[in-house]
Chains A and B, each alone.
Chain A
Amino acid sequence: EAGVTQFPSHSVIEKGQTVTLRCDPISGHDNLYWYRRVMGKEIKFLLHFVKESKQDESGMPNNRFLAERTGGTYSTLKVQPAELEDSGVYFCASSQENRVWGYTFGSGTRLTVV
């Protein structure tokens, strides 16, 4: 079974630019989560999709962040316009419906805003 795939693995952009991160979950996984880790801090929840619907987006920091999950398959997280404090590693994870245990995580996208 293929794992959770994230693109790109690294991105360096200038402040004010737009960046789109993509996550391909494991096929059949209805639940998709986005998390972010700012250097030296804890990993923080951003939002949770169940299929194409946003179940919980309470962790989204502000309206510069927009997440979508078209057709309940892959998801994108767009940051527009990017600010310096958006730098960090963005993780995606997916899990099957009703599975309490564990997610499978992707390897993350390291975003650097300069």
Chain B
Amino acid sequence: AQTVTQSQPEMSVQEAETVTLSCTYDTSENNYYLFWYKQPPSRQMILVIRQEAYKQQNATENRFSVNFQKAAKSFSLKISDSQLGDTAMYFCALRGSTLGRLYFGRGTQLTVWP
């Protein structure tokens, strides 16, 4: 079975500060893929960042970076220099190497305040 757990239902951060969203997962597969998706109030799900499990180097996309700890099955998202537009629901997701489906966590609602 594959599961994704996000233990922080809500987070808040002041503009320009840094925030880290937590995600842990469980899978029996050796090769898999991890994602963070963002869902702003418009509801459009947007891919923020992705990581292949066989790559040890942590992925980075501009102000977004991950801390991928494979042994601990942890995949946290760090947002640097937070902006008001980062306010959204953030979902952590896991995809195995065979089936195409994604397994999602419950999401973390992030609010960035001025």
Residues of A within 8 A of B (CB): 3, 31, 33, 35, 40-45, 48, 55-56, 59, 89, 91, 93, 95, 100-103, 105-108, 110
Supposing A55-B100, A89-B43 touch, asked if A100 and B33 sit within 8 A by C-beta, the answer is yes
A4 to B111, CA, bound (A): 27
Residues of B within 8 A of A (CB): 4, 33, 35, 37, 42-47, 50, 91, 93, 95, 99-107
Contact B47 A102 (CB under 8 A): yes
Q: A45-B103, A102-B50 are in contact. List 18 more A-B contacts (CB 8 A).
A: A33-B100, A35-B102, A41-B106, A42-B4, A42-B104, A42-B105, A42-B107, A43-B91, A44-B104, A45-B101, A48-B99, A56-B101, A91-B45, A100-B33, A102-B47, A103-B102, A105-B46, A108-B43
Contact B95 A100 (CB under 8 A): yes
Chain A contacts of B50 at CB under 8 A? 101-102
Contact A31 B100 (CB under 8 A): yes
Partner of B44, one of A45, A56, A95, A105: A105
Supposing A102-B35, A107-B42 touch, asked if A59 and B95 sit within 8 A by C-beta, the answer is no
A67 to B50, CA, bound (A): 29
- Chain B contact residues: helix, strand, loop or mixed: strand
Contact B101 A59 (CB under 8 A): yes
Contact B106 A40 (CB under 8 A): yes
Supposing A102-B35, A107-B42 touch, asked if A95 and B106 sit within 8 A by C-beta, the answer is no
Supposing A100-B33, A101-B50 touch, asked if A45 and B102 sit within 8 A by C-beta, the answer is yes
Chain B contacts of A93 at CB under 8 A? 45
Contact B101 A107 (CB under 8 A): no
Q: What is the distance, in angstroms, from A50's C-beta to the closest C-beta of chain B?
A: 8
Q: What is the distance, in angstroms, from B52's C-beta to the closest C-beta of chain A?
A: 8
